[in-house]
């Protein structure tokens, strides 16, 4: 009988911590994306104001994605601490080691993620 591949939880935990630190640093460097768009229309054209508004919208979306990823990472780190890491939060089955290697913050097995469980 073939042995199931083992998951390097400590290595994945370190990857999660490094990524968390990267996201926090990126957030600090980005500043507040919700600040008012301040473009003097008497000196720049209407298109520049539209560009500034679009850049702000992109910055807000980037911040939202960072926050979502941070939430997933924090949840994965908590699952490591409480011993439930590597198991699907939906069905309780083991998550494939290759899936965890690809994304250490993944919460669901492939079947539940596809909605076929």
Instruction: Kindly write down the DSSP assignment for every residue of 36-49, as one continuous string.
Output: PP---TTTS-HHHH
pLDDT-wise least confident of 20-24, 33-37, 59-63: 33-37
Residue 52: both structure tokens together: 């500034």
Indicate the helix (H) or strand (E) that contains 77: helix 46-82
**Residue partners of 84: CB distance under 8 A and separation at least 6:** none
> In this predicted structure, what is the pLDDT of residue 1?
46
Q: What is the pLDDT averaged over residues 48-55? A: 83
At which residue do the structure tokens 């979502």 appear?
Answer: 68
**Phi-psi bin for 39: left (phi > 0), alpha (psi -120 to 50), beta?**
beta
Q: What is the pTM of this model?
A: 0.78
> In this predicted structure, what is the pLDDT of residue 67?
96
Q: What is the mean pLDDT of the chain?
A: 87
Q: Using CA atoms, how far apart are residues 61 and 53, in angstroms rounded to an integer?
A: 12
pLDDT of 4 higher than 70: no
> In this predicted structure, what is the pLDDT of residue 46?
67
> pLDDT of 71-112, one tens digit each?
999 999 999 999 999 999 999 999 999 999 999 999 999 999
* Confidence grade of residue 52 (pLDDT, cut at 50, 70, 90): confident
> pLDDT of 5-20, one tens digit each?
688 999 999 999 999 9
């Amino acid at each position: 009988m073939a042995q199931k591949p083992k998951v390097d939880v400590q290595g994945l935990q370190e990857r999660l911590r490094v990524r968390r630190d990267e996201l926090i640093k990126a957030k600090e460097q980005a500043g507040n994306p919700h600040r008012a768009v301040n473009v003097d229309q008497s000196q720049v054209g209407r298109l520049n104001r539209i560009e500034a508004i679009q850049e702000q919208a992109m910055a807000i979306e980037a911040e939202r994605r960072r926050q979502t990823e941070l939430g997933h990472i924090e949840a994965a780190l908590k699952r490591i601490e409480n011993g439930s890491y590597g198991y699907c939060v939906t069905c309780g089955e083991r998550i494939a080691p290759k899936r965890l290697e690809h994304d250490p913050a993944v919460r669901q097995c492939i079947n539940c993620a596809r909605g076929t469980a």
